[in-house]
A and B are shown apart, each in its own frame.
Chain A
Amino acid sequence: MTNALTGSSKRHKIRHLKDKAARIGMGLGGISVIIAITLIFFYLLYVVIPMFKSAEVAAIASYELPGKAQIQTLHLSLEEQNQVASRITTDGEVIFFNAANGNIVNQFKLATPHQAQLTAFALDSLASHIFALGFGNGKVVIAKSVYDVRYNEHGREIIPRVDYPYGDNSISLIEDSGIAQLAIKINDEQTTLAFLSTDDRLFLAHQQEEESFLDESDHSSPVAFVTQEIADLENVKQLIIDDEQRLLYALHNNSEISLFDISDKDEIEAGERISLTDAGVEVTSIRLLTGGISLLIADDSGEISQWFPVKKDGDITLEKIRHFKNTGQGIELMPEQRRKGFLSVNQQGELTIYHATAHRELVSQKISDNALLHLAVSPRADHIIAQSSDNKISFVKIQNEHPEISWSVLWDKIWYESYDEPSYTWQSSSASNDFEPKYSLMPLAFGTLKAAFYAMLFAIPLAILGAIYTAYFMAPKMRAYVKPTIEIMEALPTVILGFLAGLWLAPLMEEHLAAMFTLILLLPLSAFVAAGLWQLVPASIRLRVPDGWQAALLIPYLIFFTWFGFAISGFVEAWFFAGNMKLWVSTELGLDFDQRNAMVVGIAMGVAVIPTIFSIAEDAIFSVPKHLTFGSLALGATPWQTLVRVVILTASPGIFSAIMIGFGRAVGETMIVLMATGNTPVMDLSIFQGMRTLSANIAVEMPESEVNSTHYRILFLAALVLFFFTFMFNTLAEIVRQRLRNKYSSL
């Protein structure tokens, strides 16, 4: 007896343990599943957020200026790995030093012409490390800092040296004068030098690469430059040639700039002369932004502005695009090498990081107590060195992954380089570093809404009217077949609808455009005609058909009218559209016609959302309490009056939520728009044009975007926008629906 009892209590215990285990297991499992599916939202957010973080600046080291401190610095630079920095001085030395501690690695005296004074310095581009020195006797030397990388047992070792791509003999540009100012640009096809002689004459020296350039040894012999005088200019402070070697800028009188069109070297045209600043304000620094199109100009008043040439009425003028105010005094600018960002240092010892396109100041931090004079940014823009007025070098680490993004970049009109006016543009990728990425989500959001709009235009009338009829008028027997038939459409893969739209409907519609428009008018009209015709049918037949079978009768009737619509479309085309509607659209209306246009998408996506809207709206109308309708009918209202004044009114929140859910589905649909439009991100409401939607854009660009790049994160942002949008719509619809359900149950 006691044994049995203990046995049963043992079993009892085990059962309780099991129960507890099940409770805990279910709890943990259930909660973790729910967390797992909400994880999607947090993960998207986690990827997106770094884009909106500001930059971080941290000084790593500070040391005495390597080399002779009393000699002025002409140029500082930092190589790719941030190991070796270089300093070019006014006595013609290149000093390579360890960026982290200032120890000199190597030192070269540049090959200068005998007895000549170094009078001018010019840099080709930051990336090429090529620079030119101009001398008092009219000669120039073109040199290049080279960083050889070697791997040994200690790992990577960088060995810097100086090379002379045009030979170490100097090139004589002018005999009777010295060189006061110099600019140089080199690319694969040509080399252009602009210089100002000591007697204020502006020259252009130009050299076109010959085919024979295949032979590397050509380098060693001095190359022949064709020199020509182009203007007399006084007080020139700086010369700049753009990367394409089409424009020459001369800054003079400290605040004015003159343009020269040098694209045709045989016919140089002097362009306009522009005042860059307000009267009395002097320019302190002027640089080309990466890509060589924009000029960055800093002035005494503490303003930094971006200018680039814009075509206006056929003329090229320099236009001020955007500016940053209150940036400090005595600014020195330095562009980044691979993005449209730039940095500045000023007399207060502050380092500031900007992004031009995003019009964004990312961070501003004091890194020295003394004025900062020179600045070098590493190619990856993750480190800088800066020289201060007390002859110290600061080595600073920068964390600045995504400067290109700001609210205005995503949603505002932006004036991009080489564009004639600000625009909403999506153009995310290009092969070159110089490319200015255009990340406006506007055209995509517009395309999304446009596609959804046309889809709803097609779907709402069909789905709602159909739902009304099915729920309220249709014979129950027929309803039992009709509802599942339409609902099965919801399960139809959208890839099939997209494929039909792109490969079957689009060509069909292009061919029979007039027929499509005829049908839109003809079919509703024919329904009215049917109502009239039905009255003419002899009562003996009419009364034999029970109520609520009109839809079945209409099927063959409407098929006939569809055929009829196609049959008369030829005449319609001949009467109204001069024989060819497609031609008429482009000539008379002036609209472009894409084969895969908004109309195709509207119909295909409309078909996709009809079942969703239909099903929810039908449920809402069907579950309107019967005593309401009976009461109305008993008071003498016709069925139609009852429907309009009682049923639809009561069910309207349900219909509304059906439309919302349908809209949410249309917004997020991917395959149909991917296949049925041309996927061009244009902002045009025209029904005959395509679009690119957020979702299609993700599908197209995601596979080729680099992980954790800005582009990748923007696509995540697009996904997050879609998520928010549909989640919001669905929640709203769900709440409305729940309220309605409560209302019905209380009625």
Chain B
Amino acid sequence: MTPKWIKNGDAWIWLNAAAVSISIIIVVGLLGLIAVRGLSHFWPASVMQADYVFPGNPLSRIIGEVVDNELVSIDNIRSSGIQIETQEPVLERLLLKTGNRDILGTDFRWLIAINLKNIHYPENIIALERREWGNFYGYIKSVKQHGQIIAEGEKAWPMLQQRLTRALDLAKQIKQVEKNEIGDINYEMEDLRLAERRLQLDQEDNESNLAPLHQARKQLDADYKQLQQRLNLLYQQINQDSLVATVADGTEVEIALAKIVRAYQPNALSLLARIGLYFEKLAEFIFDEPREANTEGGIFPAIFGTVMMVLIMSVLVTPFGVIAAVYLREYAKQGFLTRTIRIAVNNLAGVPSIVYGVFGLGFFVYFLGGNIDQLFYSEALPAPTFGTPGILWSSLTLAILTVPVVIVATEEGLSRIPKAIREGSLALGATKAETLWRTVLPMATPAMMTGMILAVARAAGEVAPLMLVGVVKLAPSLPLDDNFPFLHLDRKFMHLGFHIYDVGFQSPNVEAARPLVFATALLLVLVIIILNLAAIYIRNRLRERYRGLEQ
């Protein structure tokens, strides 16, 4: 006999329940995975030293940080041609970040755990984060100035810290000169070149018009020379110090302090120092620029680009979306046509985003941008100004993509406002415009806000269309700077979502970049979840507010 719990369908109910549970596990699991992997990246892990015994090979010393481990069956190991004498059916394999890419060729190495002997964590191991070649792990031997040893042994580490502070300060100055001051001069030079070209095109390139330009150029050239001299001096100063360190196998290497971003002794850190370092790295991640083909350093330009693009987009999308919604709900005659338009608008939100990207590239970039260039920027041609992907076109494309979201949300808000309020206002003698402006629209603001937030949340996560209309892996300058007209709508920009795609899939060193991608993903997810929760919160408040009015 079939048991009752099968006959009455209880078993099926449990199956349905399992579907919900699995969905929840997936959601929470994914978010948890991103959070754990993203946040753990900044934790300064201990660096171990061990002797690696590999049958048939001489014993080798290894220094590195364990970043991953997995269990592998002995069959799999043997089938890949590695001979191991053991009775265990399953072996542990460790992924060690050995750093020193300039010496070893790679940063990472898979090792079989049981072959590691004599594992210990010496306190005097140093870890250096460098501007190129990734991390360095080893022992400090001495610090040099102009090639002369100035500190050795015990004294080397304190001396290094002292000298490094100075080098970092100089590096900051160099960056200031190179990026800002020389960058400004280049920008002005380019302006002058375009102005001259403009005059040529207008056939007004006579002496009197050109003279001030030449004058200005002379001045800029002089400024540039001066800066160049200052830069040379700074480079001389920063290049004076170096350190000598030994790596795992005892080889000595010399590293210029100019190449070092951070130095610490990972095994000597106290818990408090570790936490401090953690937040320092986290801050670097958020506020600094990327290094080493985006695989190290921060993601500030990507955050900035995303925010900027989304801001421009919301400035564009909100008024237009609201106007369309007000028209559809308050002015248009409600009939078959309005209903059709409503369905069509609703469905445009379901059209794949890449289609909008194609449209943006064809219509905005090539058609509109190309024509704008012909009309207003002919002096720069054939180099395109607006006839190439840029932040303005990205924002416009995403505005078109998200305008249905704003329309739908605003319409919903408008439809929730009780008729009595409109009629009351009209009965008191207000015109329709006044009714709208004074009563209906203020009451619908939360709905508009909801629409805008949802639009922003969607736009922040879209990548596919942006790949066609303006995003790049590394933008030389931000779309906002101190050069007139400050906001450069024609520039290309970096974007968090594209950063994830680019670093995760196009980068030469995926293994090294992976934790950074998780961290970027975490940031993006957080932003979007917060935006969505805000939208949900506002919507719920709105409902509460009108529930009172309806009764």
Query: Which residues of A pack against B, CB within 8 Å?
Result: 15-16, 18-19, 21-23, 26-27, 29-31, 33-34, 36-40, 43-44, 47, 461-466, 468-470, 473-474, 482, 484-486, 488-489, 491-500, 502-504, 511, 523-524, 526-528, 530-532, 534-535, 550-552, 554-555, 558-559, 562, 570, 579-580, 607, 610, 614, 638-641, 643-644, 661, 664-665, 667-671, 674-675, 695, 698-699, 702-703, 707, 715-716, 719-720, 722-723, 726-727, 729-731, 734-735, 738
Contact = CB atoms under 8 A, between A and B. Distances in A.
A511 B332 CA distance: 60
7 closest Cβ contacts across the A-B interface? A30-B327, A640-B9, A668-B352, A493-B461, A22-B433, A465-B19, A527-B18
Contacts of A527: 11, 14-15, 17-18
Contacts of B132: none
Interface of B: 3, 5-6, 8-28, 30, 33-34, 70, 73, 75-76, 79, 90, 320-321, 323-324, 326-328, 330-332, 341, 343-348, 350-359, 361-363, 366, 400, 403-404, 407, 431-434, 436-437, 457-458, 460-464, 467-468, 497-498, 500-501, 504-505, 510, 514, 517, 521, 524-525, 528-529, 531-533, 536
A668 B458 contact: no
Contact of B11 (A18, A528, A610, A729): A528
- Name which of A463, A489, A703 has the most chain B CB atoms within 10 A of its CB: A489
B461 A641 contact: no
A664 B10 CA distance: 34
A288 to B, nearest CB: 37
A108 B432 CA distance: 86
Given A22-B433, A675-B505, A40 B28 contact: no
Nearest to A729: B350
Nearest to A661: B350
Contacts, number: 325
18 contacts: A30-B323, A31-B327, A37-B400, A43-B363, A463-B19, A465-B18, A465-B19, A466-B19, A494-B461, A495-B463, A499-B521, A502-B504, A527-B17, A640-B8, A667-B352, A668-B352, A675-B505, A734-B347
Contacts of A638: 8-9
Contacts of B34: 496, 500
Contacts of B501: 495, 498-499, 671, 674-675
A502 B300 CA distance: 25
Given A496-B34, A702-B358, A19 B434 contact: yes
A493 B400 contact: no
Given A29-B324, A535-B3, A695-B464, A550 B353 contact: no
Contacts of A498: 501
A281 B331 CA distance: 75
B352 to A, nearest CB: 2
B21 A554 contact: yes
B351 A30 contact: no
- Name which of A19, A22, A496, A729 has the most chain B CB atoms within 10 A of its CB: A496
Nearest to A641: B9
B404 A37 contact: yes
Given A664-B350, A667-B352, A670-B353, A38 B344 contact: yes
B514 A668 contact: no
B391 to A, nearest CB: 17
Contacts of A461: 19
A695 B351 CA distance: 11
Contacts of B531: 491
A26 B18 contact: no
Which residue among A491, A495, A524 has the maximum number of chain B CB atoms within 10 Å of its CB? A495
A470 B20 contact: yes
Contacts of A492: 30, 461, 525, 528
Given A494-B461, A558-B25, A723-B351, 8 more contacts: A29-B324, A37-B400, A491-B531, A492-B525, A530-B14, A638-B9, A699-B467, A727-B350
B27 A485 contact: yes
Contact of A719 (B15, B73, B359, B504): B359
Contacts of A16: 431
A610 B327 contact: no
Contacts of A464: 19
B358 A639 contact: no
Contacts of B15: 465, 524, 527-528, 531
A15 B434 contact: yes
Nearest to A524: B15
A485 B533 CA distance: 10
A462 B19 CA distance: 5
A131 B458 CA distance: 63
A711 B446 CA distance: 46
Contact of B359 (A44, A499, A643, A729): A44
